[in-house]
Amino acid sequence: MITLERIAKTYDLGSATVEALVQVDLSIERGEFVTVMGPSGSGKSTLLHILGILDTADAGIYTLEGHDLTTLGDRELSRIRNEHFGFVFQSFNLFNEFSALENVMFPLMYAGMRGPERRDRAEELLSSVGLDHRMGHYPNMLSGGEQQRVAIARALANDPTLILADEPTGNLPSEKGEEILTILESLNRDGVTIVMVTHDDELGQRGSRCVRLRDGRIESDTRKAA
Amino acid sequence: MSLFDRLKTSLRYIRGRLVESILIVAAIAVGVALVAAMAAFWGDYNRQTEFLLNDPAYREVVVEVVGTERDLDEAVAEYDPETAETVQLGLDELTLAMRSVSAAQYAYLADRTRLQAGVSERLQNAIAQGRFGGQGAGVPPAGTAGALAAPAAEALGGDDTNDSDSAPDAGQIVEAQPLPREDAGEEESEVERGEEDDTDERAIDAAEASRDRNQAASPAPSGGGRGQFDGAGGFNLEQLLAGSEDVITEFPVDWIATISGTEQLFAAYGLEADQGSLFTDEDVEGGNAVMVLGSDLAGRMFPDDDPIGQQGLFGIRTYTVVGVLRPSEIRDNETGLMINEMAFVPNSDAQVSFGGFTIDFTQASQTLRFAVADSRDIERAVSQIESFFEAEYGPGAVAVSARIEEAAEERDQIGRVLVVVLFLAVAALFIASINLFNLMLMRVIKRTKDVGISRAIGASKGSVFRSFLNESALLSLIGTLIGLAVSPLVYRLLASSLVVSAQALDGVGSTSGMAGNWILLVAGAAVAAGISIVFGVWPARQASRIDASLAIRTE
């Protein structure tokens, strides 16, 4: 599904340059549940952002379903993010000025879906994560677990093929984290590819494949026997 | 993302920071209102001044005698201030002058005077008190029937009620007094408020002086002061109104503002007869007591009857109404009155003799007027007129002035003020726009993370740009609409403070002027809105350039 070849990313911090990723080759198949682990600063988030084309690599080739993404413009890339990818973040990253329902409606709005249809779809998504009763609530009125579930509903809005989760349980108490993980696993069972960055060794073992990064390089890449 | 969705989203963000949004909207509203009002005012100002410069008053060149003792009939060499008598300008001078003044189309006299309609109480009293020669006690001509008897007797009887009704047929002398030339505007109120007392006083003085002269020249036959009022030769108002059953001596108005002029006055001012006819130079030369009325005045004086052919007592003379003017938009620039409210009489010498006195009506006309057909000819006309009078009477004998010159100066002055005000209005808009710029830049910074999130869930750079531009444009537009709504008020405020005492702008700032300029008003507002929208472009661009990956990691 996704192939990264010799991907490199350097951050220029003025006084020093930081090599976030060095010569990363990675291939992700449809339906995988990949966990990305590694110490702080090992380039996990950078890798995730590059996979989600929120960020672009300085060098290397990114191929999505056989298409070289480096040739595409911002509009096309945004469209891919909107329709094929879904992001889930550690700090939820909801729009605080908008209700849970409206947050979920945003990606639908960017996709050009019409108002009433959009509302129905968003309600359906929120129900599927068990938030029927919280649709009109603003993020600051919701618990962390609820906020993350809104974020997942938002990530799922346009039926993405890939979910990119950056420590989705990092800010949650363990039982709430477990709920989130359960949702992700069930999505994976339905065929959605998942890439999840985590610190947690136990969580790292929950996926079908674990990629370990150190200093911007892939240290290990282990697949569980099915 | 549809425009509607974008608008809704922008509104949410605007509502989210309501106070600062309201303040910026208010600032823009002020800027827009000022600019729009100024634009409309500027348009009015130009249109109105153009219009005014074609007004008859501004096509007129006025020649005034310097000093009051000069007679323009005399050649320079013979001029002697010691011996020179009352100045007199008349048709002869006009005719003469026109031969050398080719730029001017018309030459005429047009002295502003005021005629009494009916009898003033004060004059009645003066007669009753014998100031016209008789001793108070001796005056009552017991056997004399007629007009004087009733009021005089009444006055002497100590009955001071003086109901004007009780003396319906009493006509009385009023000498037509020239209205002092002053700046119009004030003059209007002058006419209203009047110097009635003063005028009466002067009229009485004039009458007394006249009597003295007459007495000196040919002593009254019966001799003695009181005798003048006795017998057939006595001072008898009945004489004034001899054979006068048809002469109207009471009018719904007390005074009428009058222009004492010559034939070409009508052409120069573009006035035409609606009923009857205008008077001619023959009437002027013949001293005919004819009168042409402005349309409104005619209606007020003769509400029920056809004015043409009516005879009325005005001052000391009986005038016959020969014409009524077609309604005109013109305002007399010297009195500030509508031409429709004025009367016109021939500017001629006239004497009225009665009771052994001769009262001289002569108005020493000290002003000759010329008019050009096209205001562009006025400078040429002024210089020709100056040369003519200088050649004829020597330098400095007359002052030649054209109102258009004063008007142009006034216009320039106001124009300079307008530039300053326009500059301030633009400055206000500019400051408001800079504030909007800062506000939007701040919002971009504050919403950096939101931008990152939007990008992650599928917003393109263009979409982010449009969202922010949309928000600032929405603030601008709300401000513009409010500004546009209050701009007529601002316009009126500007007009009333700028047009004070500026006759060249008479009519600017009236609501009718406003109505014609709504296009300029809206155009001004549109330009202002455009400017403030432009100030939102840079912040929106900054927003679109935010690095989504970094933004999303900021806490």
- What confidence tens digit (pLDDT) does each residue in B77-95 have? 333 444 444 445 556 666 6
Spatial separation of the C-alpha atoms in residues B97 and B95, rounded to whole Å: 5
pLDDT at B106: 86
Instruction: Give the residue from chain A lying closest to B14, CA to CA.
Output: A97
Instruction: Give the residue from chain B lying closest to A107, CA to CA.
Output: B457
Do A112 and A119 contact (CB within 8 A), yes or no? no
Q: Is the pLDDT of residue B96 over 90?
A: no
Spatial separation of the C-alpha atoms in residues B124 and B130, rounded to whole Å: 10
Mutation pick from A12, A80, A97 vs chain B, by most beta carbons of B within 10 Å, is A97
Task: Note the pLDDT tens digit of each residue in B417-428.
Answer: 888 888 999 999
Strands (E) in B23-145, as ranges, are: 60-65, 106-108, 110-116
Task: Identify all chain A residues contacting B461, using CB atoms and an 8 Å cutoff.
Answer: 74, 78
Task: Note the pLDDT tens digit of each residue in B284-296.
Answer: 878 888 999 999 9
Number of CB atoms found within 10 A of residue B4's CB: 9
- Residue in A94, A107, A115 closest to B458 by CB: A107
pLDDT-flagged residues of chain A (< 70) = 225-226
Q: Is A10 on the interface with B (CB under 8 A)?
A: no
CA distance B435 to chain A (A): 23
- Residue B498's identity, in one-letter code, is L
Rounded to an integer, the average pLDDT of B501-506 is 46
- CA dihedral A148→A152→A153→A156, nearest 10 degrees, is 170
- Residue in B1, B461, B548 closest to A110 by CB: B1
Cβ of A82 within 8 Å of Cβ of B453? The answer is: no
Q: Return residues 96-125 of A near B (CB < 8 Å).
A: 97-98, 106-107, 109-112, 115
Q: Provide ipTM, 2 decimals.
A: 0.94
Do B37 and B487 contact (CB within 8 A), yes or no? yes
Domain A2-223 CATH class label: alpha beta
Rounded to an integer, the average pLDDT of B122-136 is 56
Cβ of A49 within 8 Å of Cβ of B549? The answer is: yes
Tell me the average pLDDT of chain B: 72
> Which position has the token pair 């509502």?
B15
Q: Chain-centre distance of CA B380, in angstroms? A: 26
CA distance B4 to chain A (A): 10
Cβ of B458 within 8 Å of Cβ of A81? The answer is: yes
Chain B interface, Cβ < 8 Å to A: 1-2, 5, 12-13, 16, 449-450, 452-463, 547-549, 552-553, 555
- Residue A38's identity, in one-letter code, is G
Query: Helix B378-393 crosses helix B91-100 at what angle (to 10 degrees)?
Result: 120
Q: Is A72 on the interface with B (CB under 8 A)?
A: no
Confidence bin at B41 (pLDDT 50/70/90): confident
Cβ of A82 within 8 Å of Cβ of B12? The answer is: no
Do B231 and B351 contact (CB within 8 A), yes or no? no
**Dihedral pair phi/psi, residue B397, rounded to 5°:** -70, -35
- CA distances A208 to A138, A180, A224, Å, are 35, 17, 5
Do B140 and B128 contact (CB within 8 A), yes or no? no
Sheet of B106-108: strands edge to edge? Answer: B106-108, B367-371, B60-65, B398-402
Cα Rg of chain B, angstroms: 35
B159 Cβ neighbours under 8 A, 6+ residues apart: none
Instruction: Give the residue from chain A lying closest to B11, CA to CA.
Output: A97
Q: Is A45 on the interface with B (CB under 8 A)?
A: yes
Cβ of A112 within 8 Å of Cβ of B461? The answer is: no
Task: Identify all chain A residues contacting B5, using CB atoms and an 8 Å cutoff.
Answer: 109, 115
Q: How far apart are the first and last CA of chain A?
A: 19
Q: What secondary structure does DSSP assign to B332-393, as a single string?
A: -TTT--BGGG-EEEE----EEEETTEEEE------EEEEE-SSGGGHHHHHHHHHHHHHHHH
Percent of chain B clearing pLDDT 70 (strictly above) = 63
Q: Is A92 on the interface with B (CB under 8 A)?
A: no
Do B321 and B288 contact (CB within 8 A), yes or no? no
Rounded to an integer, the average pLDDT of B208-231 is 41
Helix runs in B236-347, H state only: 237-240, 264-269, 281-286, 295-301
pLDDT at B38: 85
pLDDT at A78: 94
A33-37/A193-197 β-pairing: parallel
Percent of chain B clearing pLDDT 90 (strictly above) = 22
Question: Rounded to 5 degrees, what angle do the CA atoms B453, B459, B460 make?
Answer: 125
Mutation pick from A40, A91, A109 vs chain B, by most beta carbons of B within 10 Å, is A109
Q: Is the pLDDT of residue B199 over 50?
A: no
Cβ of B1 within 8 Å of Cβ of A83? The answer is: no
Query: Which is more confident, B514 or A172?
Result: A172
Q: Is A154 on the interface with B (CB under 8 A)?
A: yes
Cβ of B450 within 8 Å of Cβ of A110? The answer is: no
Query: Which is more confident, B377 or B72?
Result: B377
Query: What are the boundaries of each domain within chain A?
Result: 2-223
pLDDT at A98: 93
Q: What secondary structure does DSSP assign to A142-203, as a single string?
A: S-HHHHHHHHHHHHTTT--SEEEEESTTTTS-HHHHHHHHHHHHHHHHTT-EEEEE-S-HHH
pLDDT at A11: 86
